[in-house]
């Protein structure tokens, strides 16, 4: 049987380029201490890159620039999965991700149900902010992202154009998820969800 490092690397190599991974993803291959040691050896051998504590990737390479920075969304998802946190984009980031706003938030901020913290990734800092249950409705789903995007505009700035854009761009499973979340959302959001999913 191949050693743990070889089995780890074999799994890592078949992931899409730029994928980010954490030790928890390899729980089925061995004990945590052994997995950590194997990842450390792969890092020292130059086969993978350590981005932050418990976060690794095989970087995308540019012919001129060399190794590119990791995707902050993928890093955030990996960190949250490793720590067992629920993860949700901020309203402004959600609106940008769904193409409802061209404004790119100055800071990379995610909402979590754990303790607030900052993680430095290359030249960027990812902020994790503790949030309550209402802000984390639908965390980890496209429906949750859509809910956050609706929240970004508030009841006074939502236009029929934004509602129409959501109706056209959201897949049916996200709309079904939104309908389920409507029972827990503020009243004004519930009425918007009704218009989006009608």
**pLDDT lower than 70: segments of the chain:** 1-2
DSSP H helix total and E strand total for the chain: 8, 9
Q: What CA–CA distance (Å, rounded) separates 198 from 194?
A: 6
> Quick one: angle between helices 172-181 and 142-157, nearest 10?
60
DSSP code at position 63: T
pLDDT digit string (tens) for 143-154? 999 999 999 999
Give the residue extent of every domain in the chain.
Answer: 4-67, 85-197
pTM of the model: 0.84
Tokens of 185: 């959302």
**Domain 4-67 CATH assignment equals 1.20.120:** no
Query: Which of 137, 11, 19 has its CA nearest to residue 81?
Result: 19
Task: With beta carbons less than 8 A apart as the criterion, state whether 193 and 186 touch.
Answer: no
pLDDT digit string (tens) for 28-65? 999 999 999 999 999 999 999 999 888 999 888 889 99
Query: Which of 23, 32, 89, 27 has its CA nearest to residue 53?
Result: 23
């Amino acid at each position: 049987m191949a050693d743990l490092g070889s089995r780890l690397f074999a799994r890592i190599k078949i992931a899409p380029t730029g994928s980010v991974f954490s030790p928890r993803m390899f729980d089925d291959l061995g004990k945590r201490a052994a997995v950590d040691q194997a990842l450390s050896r792969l890092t020292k051998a130059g086969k993978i890159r350590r981005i932050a504590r418990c976060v690794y990737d095989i970087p995308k390479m540019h012919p001129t620039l060399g190794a590119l920075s990791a995707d902050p969304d993928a890093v955030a998802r990996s960190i949250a999965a490793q720590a067992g946190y629920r993860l949700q984009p901020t309203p402004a980031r959600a609106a940008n991700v769904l193409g409802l706003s061209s404004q790119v938030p100055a800071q990379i901020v995610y909402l979590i149900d754990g303790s607030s913290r900052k993680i430095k990734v290359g030249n960027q800092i990812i902020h994790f902010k503790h949030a309550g249950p209402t802000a984390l409705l639908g965390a980890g789903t496209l429906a949750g992202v859509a809910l956050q995007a609706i929240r970004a505009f508030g009841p006074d700035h939502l236009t029929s154009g934004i509602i129409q854009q959501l109706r056209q761009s959201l897949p049916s499973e996200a709309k079904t998820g939104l309908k389920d979340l409507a029972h827990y959302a503020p009243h004004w959001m519930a009425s918007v969800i009704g218009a989006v999913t009608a």
